[in-house]
A and B are shown apart, each in its own frame.
Chain A
Amino acid sequence: MKNIWSIFCREVSSFFTSPLAYVLIFIFLVAVNALTFLWPGRELIESEQAALKDYFFFYHPWVLAFYGPLLAMRTLSDEHRQGTIELISTMPVRTIELVFGKFLGGFTVLFVSLLFTLSVVITVSILGNPDPGPLFAGYLGSLLVGGTFIAVTIAVSALTRSQVICVAVSIPICLLLCLIGFDPVQNFFADSGVNVLAAFGELLASISVMPGFTDFSKGLVDIRYLFYFLSVIALCLFITNTVLQSKRA
């Protein structure tokens, strides 16, 4: 436990000492605000309906598919590039503690970034009157989707010492995890009329982060989806652990 805490603290402070971190958070906030207020959800302000679900949370998975990998790309790539993996692996730390501490660090940065998006919520609250229930559930959904993307990125970053390769592989994976459950894609499979394709569509939906996220943003916290997110995260961290251990063999 103590090791996880030390690694977590180092991870968070190392993120915030890099100027890149602030640029990233800034771009993230600009993207979230722009998508909510400018394009194409301008009606949000005009209609004064606090339809956060359709204009705010709607874009979260897509923005997070870029933001998650960008904020987590250094986690293990840097350890390999700087050779510090040799240092930390020869200290009395278990690999899983290292992986978990790093994940929690990235997750916390994500949490802080999402807190900043509350400015959007506050704006909307002045204009309309959003329900606190769905709002809370929506944020939980964003956190879980973001956490999943961070875990995916960490698993990829264990495989390469290059941050560029790490993001170039992670972003498409995360986008794919969104896309395969995206309504237009799902409709395509459902409307195809071919049984095999429809079944395939359902399979894709069960892998995607979208069905769970959509439920959360409606205010429905389904325990099965909670379980889905947590198990994908656990699976990615387990893969990372295995990769790190076998890489040296």
Chain B
Amino acid sequence: MIDVKNLTKQFGHKAAVDDLSFSVEKGEVLGFLGPNGAGKSTTMRVITGFLPATAGSVEICGISVKEHPEDAKRKIGYLPESAPLYDDMTVMGFLKFCANIRGFKGVARTQAIDRVIETCFLQTVVRQSIDTLSKGYRHRTCLAQALLHDPEVLVLDEPTDGLDPNQKHEVRKLISDLGKEKTIIFSTHILEEVDASCTRAMIIDQGKIVAEGSPESLRQAGDGSLTALFRKLTTSEVAA
């Protein structure tokens, strides 16, 4: 589970994340919505221990990210926003490297890699050099890396970005399947994905939560449409 308490992250004087508190339990899939620059990626970077928090705390399965970063990171699978990869490696070489870092050896390593190659549909590109991959395959390779160690907590920053409609469908299905036994938080700009995979959704704007609840309750608040609610809650801030 993820437990975020009074999290604030400032860049200079600007607060990208402003006193945010929420928690995600095991078996929950939290959809993280918000306009560009709302602070979604920043929140995820603090949760995964990439950025230190200015104030507040984050706990992963009861482990403080600040106090025990290595232990917390072992529990997390993270797909960063831009799907960064080592361009000079092959897909297989990259996954082997990640598996080594995740502490896999021998047969277990081969099995873990085979498993994620299958879940992320990478069979056709395993021997290909990463710098020649298409955007969608890059994204899937990075997603594969996040799933390697079968983590309890998944933090996915726009996991369906750049994927074709078939793959979008597969990834949504994967998220809802995995969500039954794991704790997942994922960000997206595609509001239908909230219905497709989330048990709960949260809209943030300027680092603050503006709406939170089950997909149904949010839709009701927006008079039947998530888009309407999103526009109502977030465009007013931009105009101001």
Type the 1/0 row for A10-22, where 1 means its CB is closer than 8 Å to any CB of B.
1001100110000
A89→B101 contact, CB < 8 A: no
B50→A248 contact, CB < 8 A: yes
Residues of B within 8 A of A47 (CB): none
Shortest Cβ distance from B79 into A: residue: A87
Given contacts A17-B88, A83-B80, contact A90 B48 (CB under 8 A): yes
Type the 1/0 row for B90-113, where 1 means its CB is closer than 8 Å to any CB of A.
000100011011110000000000
> Interface size bucket, A side?
20 to 34
Type the 1/0 row for A69-96, where 1 means its CB is closer than 8 Å to any CB of B.
0000000000000111111111111100
B101→A90 contact, CB < 8 A: no
B51→A90 contact, CB < 8 A: no
Question: In this assembly, does B224 line the interface, its C-beta being within 8 Å of a C-beta of chain A?
Answer: no
A90→B73 contact, CB < 8 A: yes
User: With A and B bound together, what is the CA distance between A93 and B48 in angstroms?
Assistant: 13
Which residues from 34 to 89 on chain B have a C-beta closer than 8 Å to any C-beta of chain A? Answer: 45, 48-52, 70-71, 73-74, 76, 78, 80, 82, 84-89
Shortest Cβ distance from A88 into B: residue: B101
Q: Which residue in A14, A83, A92 is a CB contact (below 8 Å) of B73?
A: A92
Residues of B within 8 A of A10 (CB): 86, 89, 97
Q: Which residue in A2, A14, A83, A89 is a CB contact (below 8 Å) of B103?
A: A2
Residues of B within 8 A of A87 (CB): 78, 80, 84-85, 142, 145
User: With A and B bound together, what is the CA distance between A85 and B73 in angstroms?
Assistant: 14
Q: Which residue in B49, B71, B86, B89 is a CB contact (below 8 Å) of A90?
A: B49
Residue tally, chain B, CB below 8 Å to A: 29
B88→A92 contact, CB < 8 A: no
- Rounded to whole Å, the gap between the CB of A208 and the closest CB of chain B is 35
User: With A and B bound together, what is the CA distance between A93 and B87 in angstroms?
Assistant: 20
A94→B101 contact, CB < 8 A: no
Residues of A within 8 A of B98 (CB): 91
Given contacts A90-B48, A248-B52, contact A2 B100 (CB under 8 A): yes
Residues of B within 8 A of A89 (CB): 49-50
Q: Which residue in B45, B51, B86, B102 is a CB contact (below 8 Å) of A84?
A: B86
User: With A and B bound together, what is the CA distance between A74 and B35 in angstroms?
Assistant: 35
Shortest Cβ distance from A91 into B: residue: B101
- Rounded to whole Å, the gap between the CB of A181 and the closest CB of chain B is 37
Given contacts A83-B84, A92-B74, contact A3 B50 (CB under 8 A): no
Question: In this assembly, does A223 line the interface, its C-beta being within 8 Å of a C-beta of chain B?
Answer: no
Residues of B within 8 A of A6 (CB): 97, 100-101
Question: In this assembly, does A249 line the interface, its C-beta being within 8 Å of a C-beta of chain B?
Answer: yes
Residues of B within 8 A of A86 (CB): 45, 50, 80, 84
Shortest Cβ distance from B84 into A: residue: A83
Which among A82, A85, A86 has the highest number of chain B CB atoms within 10 Å? A86
User: With A and B bound together, what is the CA distance between A85 and B145 in angstroms?
Assistant: 14
- Rounded to whole Å, the gap between the CB of B23 and the closest CB of chain A is 20
User: With A and B bound together, what is the CA distance between A7 and B145 in angstroms?
Assistant: 16
A93→B52 contact, CB < 8 A: no
Shortest Cβ distance from A93 into B: residue: B101
B78→A90 contact, CB < 8 A: yes
Residues of B within 8 A of A13 (CB): 93
Residues of A within 8 A of B50 (CB): 86, 89-90, 248
- Rounded to whole Å, the gap between the CB of A11 and the closest CB of chain B is 10
Given contacts A3-B101, A6-B100, A87-B145, contact A92 B70 (CB under 8 A): yes
A84→B85 contact, CB < 8 A: yes
User: With A and B bound together, what is the CA distance between A89 and B51 in angstroms?
Assistant: 9
Residues of A within 8 A of B (CB): 2-3, 6-7, 9-10, 13-14, 17-18, 82-94, 248-249
21 A-B contact pairs sorted by A residue (CB < 8 Å): A2-B100, A3-B101, A7-B101, A10-B97, A14-B86, A14-B88, A18-B88, A82-B84, A84-B85, A84-B86, A85-B84, A86-B45, A86-B50, A87-B78, A87-B80, A87-B84, A87-B85, A90-B48, A91-B73, A92-B74, A248-B50
Q: Assuming A7-B101, A87-B78, A90-B73, what are 7 further A-B pairs, CB within 8 angstroms? A: A9-B97, A14-B89, A82-B87, A84-B86, A89-B50, A90-B48, A90-B49
